[in-house]
Chains A and B, each alone.
Chain A
């Protein structure tokens, strides 16, 4: 059973970079999952942000593509999100998750990031 845990600063200044890490246990980032980031703005629905494969292939949502980098680190068994030039609109709960063939069947607990 893959378990995921997000970590990173809870407060980021406008125009700064939001950096989060998802630590993976009970499995390896080198496996066949797609390692995914999802966010949820206050009172809003779920927004798929992007994902990365074990080989480093990425997919990003169009609206964030110019500011977003998602990467995987086999040596630390974790994957990361970097979102540049943030604004208040990037304030959200950020979840990491794992996609195999069943949809997102493993999720972290979520971490709140406030841009202010």
Chain B
């Protein structure tokens, strides 16, 4: 099974900051990686698919990059609505596991 490792687990930042979250797969997943945002009590929301494609309706301050086993989610200028938990997920080979999550909170 492919193991997904996210870092950091918690990130404290201020509005306007550039934020970067990392995700590492235990083997090459050929770019089949998605990023999700989850707010308390809500279902996750797809932000990025295929490692770098922005889902329709998602603000352009969100971007994804990476290939092989190393991937990054970047928020170019953190907004108040962005304080949430973010997860990566590989969907190259089942089981399609998630990373442990990164909680972005207010510094």
What is the interface of chain A, defined by CB distance below 8 A to chain B?
36, 38, 45-48, 50-51, 59-62, 95, 97, 99, 101-105, 107-110
- Is there an interface contact between A102 and B95, defined as CB atoms closer than 8 Å? no
> A50 to chain B: closest CB distance in Å?
7
The contact of B95 among A45, A48, A108, by CB within 8 Å, is: A48
> A86 to chain B: closest CB distance in Å?
20
List of B residues within 8 angstroms of A50 by Cβ: 95
| CB-CB nearest in chain A for B99 | A45
**Complex Cα spacing A50 to B97, Å:** 10
- Is there an interface contact between A62 and B95, defined as CB atoms closer than 8 Å? yes
Q: Which of B63-103 contact A (CB under 8 A)?
A: 87, 89, 91, 94-101
**Complex Cα spacing A46 to B50, Å:** 19
What is the interface of chain B, defined by CB distance below 8 A to chain A?
1, 34, 36, 38, 43-46, 49-50, 53, 55, 87, 89, 91, 94-101
List of B residues within 8 angstroms of A108 by Cβ: 43
| CB-CB nearest in chain A for B43 | A107
List of B residues within 8 angstroms of A95 by Cβ: 43-44
**Complex Cα spacing A95 to B99, Å:** 17
> Given that A48-B95, A59-B95 are contacting pairs, would A103 and B1 also be in contact in the complex, using a CB cutoff of 8 Å?
no
> Given that A48-B96, A60-B95 are contacting pairs, would A103 and B43 also be in contact in the complex, using a CB cutoff of 8 Å?
no
**Complex Cα spacing A51 to B93, Å:** 12
The contact of B100 among A45, A102, A104, by CB within 8 Å, is: A45
> A54 to chain B: closest CB distance in Å?
16
**Complex Cα spacing A61 to B2, Å:** 11
> A27 to chain B: closest CB distance in Å?
16
List of A residues within 8 angstroms of B97 by Cβ: 48, 61
> Given that A103-B49, A110-B43 are contacting pairs, would A61 and B98 also be in contact in the complex, using a CB cutoff of 8 Å?
no
- Is there an interface contact between B34 and A102, defined as CB atoms closer than 8 Å? yes
The contact of A48 among B43, B45, B98, by CB within 8 Å, is: B98
